Amino acid sequence: MTKTKSTENWFSRGKAEADKGIPKNERIAGIGFFFTGSILIVLYLAVHQMWSTGFFTATFGTIEMIMLYGSWIAWIITAGLEGVLGQRLLSRLFDTFGGIIFIAVATAWLAVVFPFEFAYFADVLPDYLRFLVQWISNDIARIVMLLYTIAMGIAAVYAPIGYKFIRIQRFQRE
């Protein structure tokens, strides 16, 4: 007896989706949009650091640098793995047992230390583009980081559990 979509549990549906692979156009879009966007953000932050604009405060030390740039590198690796491998399950392995947990810890650390001064965040942009990020205050950034920390904390707990159940389902079928 085969299960219908409505009676199948969500782990089974998740596994089926993960095993399907990623269509070539989605792989290209993922690499093009997310990978390139992440690289641009890392470069934007690095320019702030190299030019000493004041965006990074005196509390931005080596640990904070590892937490900030390491988080973006984890996202870049995940996007790159999905694009190169073409399978969500394989990229989720890194994401689940490294990326998400590291990003949750890093974001929490950065939210507590908060080594930023958003009054200077737009300083590296040309004058005609500054309006895009000029409205971000320290308070808005703290709220966004807190919400992101909560979301990544939930994901850090959920992802390994979900990955384990998907593996169990996979082995039961085989």
Q: List the domain boundaries for the chain.
A: 23-168
How many angstroms separate the CA atoms of 30 and 8, rounded? Answer: 29
Q: Is the pLDDT of residue 173 over 70?
A: no
Compute CA distances 95 → 38, 43, 49, 133, 141, whole Å.
Answer: 16, 22, 27, 29, 25
- What does the pLDDT read at residue 119? 96
Q: Is the pLDDT of residue 134 over 90?
A: yes
* Tokens at 124, concatenated: 């590296």
Query: What SS3 class is residue 3?
Result: coil
Read off the pTM: 0.75
- What does the pLDDT read at residue 12? 60
Q: What angle do CA 134, 100, 66 make, to 5 degrees?
A: 60
